[in-house]
């Protein structure tokens, strides 16, 4: 199954994409995580992406598309994948559609996780991420067992650079301008499903499973 998670920054795309990928036994592909790993490792791609990300903007489509197309060509993607944070612009969605059509494939579901802007800033301030393995937590809603330490790999948890309130505001603006139009795009492809992302993590997950029929 090929699935796209849509939603504002902090709507819970990563949280739900990881659960869904585990449940279905397919890879979770987060462009944000790929960029952050490249920044951490000091690669050329990381150096190019960092300035855009720190400013709350988007990394140019040309850089993003190449890495995604390469990723979905790998063996572990043959039975599907869950995209998290991609596509994020209409040109990215069109490029993905053309690439899949060329090999006789299509997206099965685009899942929009709906959370109003006013809930987002509060969520982002409480998010803590493990830079080592990418796991995410929340100080109130999904706290780690030991404060500041990742349950999975014991890495240290930090506030992402782009989770500061002024950057979150900019990311929300960019989301409304460039990413929200994808809701209509996937609606017109008859694969859009929508969930209320203000419910707790487990309830949102169960709603998604029901909508996907899995
Ligand atoms: P990316 O990493 O994709 O960030 P994002 O889309 O802004 O989304 P987030 O990861 O911030 O949030 P999320 O929806 O995954 O929420 P989460 O599950 O963590 O991208 C970062 C940057 O990279 C972009 O700004 C851009 O510059 C660049 N980039 C990436 N992809 C790109 C692309 N395709 N093209 C161009 N540029 C690209 O949840 C948030 C918090 O809330 C967590 O603490 C979580 O524990 C908590 N939470 C989750 N669900 C719930 C719930 N139901 N109730 C209460 N708390 C909850």
Question: Tell me: the pLDDT tens digits for 125-172?
Answer: 899 999 888 899 999 999 999 999 999 999 999 998 899 888 999 999
Q: What contacts 172, CB < 8 A, 6 or more positions away?
A: 8, 9, 117, 120
Question: Hey, is 17 helix, strand or coil?
Answer: helix
3-state secondary structure 133-196: CCCEEECCCECCCECCECCCCCCEEECCHHHCHHHHHHHHHHHHHHHCHHHHHHHHCCCEEEEE
Q: Is the pLDDT of residue 14 over 90?
A: yes
Whole-number Å distance, alpha carbon 11 to ligand 1 midpoint, is 7
d(CA 84, CA 15): 10
The yes-or-no answer on residue 47 being catalytic is: no
Whether residue 134 has its Cβ less than 6 Å from ligand 1: no
The yes-or-no answer on residue 189 being catalytic is: no
93 band by pLDDT with thresholds 50, 70 and 90: very high
Predicted confidence at residue 180, as pLDDT, reads 98
Contact 111, 16 (CB under 8 A): yes
121 band by pLDDT with thresholds 50, 70 and 90: confident
- Short-list 8, 1, 2, CA closest to 183: 8
Whether residue 88 has its Cβ less than 6 Å from ligand 1: yes
Kindly state the DSSP code that residue 78 receives in the 8-state scheme. T
In the chain, % of residues over pLDDT 70: 100
Taking residues 203-211, report their average pLDDT. Answer: 98
Q: Within a 10 A sphere around the Cβ of 170, how many other Cβ atoms?
A: 14
Question: Hey, is 19 helix, strand or coil?
Answer: helix
Whether residue 31 has its Cβ less than 6 Å from ligand 1: yes
- Short-list 14, 26, 3, CA closest to 201: 14
Whole-number Å distance, alpha carbon 182 to ligand 1 midpoint, is 16
Kindly state the DSSP code that residue 76 receives in the 8-state scheme. G
The yes-or-no answer on residue 13 being catalytic is: yes
Whether residue 80 has its Cβ less than 6 Å from ligand 1: no
Predicted confidence at residue 190, as pLDDT, reads 98
Q: Within a 10 A sphere around the Cβ of 154, how many other Cβ atoms?
A: 11
């Amino acid at each position: 199954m090929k699935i796209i998670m849509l939603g504002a920054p902090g709507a819970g795309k990563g949280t739900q994409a990881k659960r869904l990928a585990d449940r279905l036994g397919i890879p979770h592909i987060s462009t944000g995580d790929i960029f952050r790993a490249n920044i951490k490792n000091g690669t050329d791609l990381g150096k190019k992406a960092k300035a855009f990300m720190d400013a709350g903007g988007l990394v140019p489509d040309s850089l993003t598309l190449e890495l995604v197309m390469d990723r979905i060509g790998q063996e572990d993607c043959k039975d599907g994948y869950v995209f998290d944070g991609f596509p994020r612009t209409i040109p990215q969605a069109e490029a993905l559609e053309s690439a899949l059509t060329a090999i006789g494939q299509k997206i099965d579901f685009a899942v929009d996780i709906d959370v109003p802007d006013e809930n987002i800033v509060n969520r982002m301030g409480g998010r803590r991420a493990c830079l080592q393995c990418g796991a995410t937590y929340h100080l109130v809603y999904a706290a780690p067992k030991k404060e500041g330490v990742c349950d999975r790999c014991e890495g240290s948890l930090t506030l992402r650079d782009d989770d500061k309130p002024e950057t979150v505001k900019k990311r929300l603006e960019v989301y409304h301008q460039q990413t929200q139009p994808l809701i209509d795009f996937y609606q017109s492809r008859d694969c859009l499903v929508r969930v209320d992302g203000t419910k707790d993590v487990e309830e949102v997950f169960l709603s998604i499973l029901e909508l996907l029929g899995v």
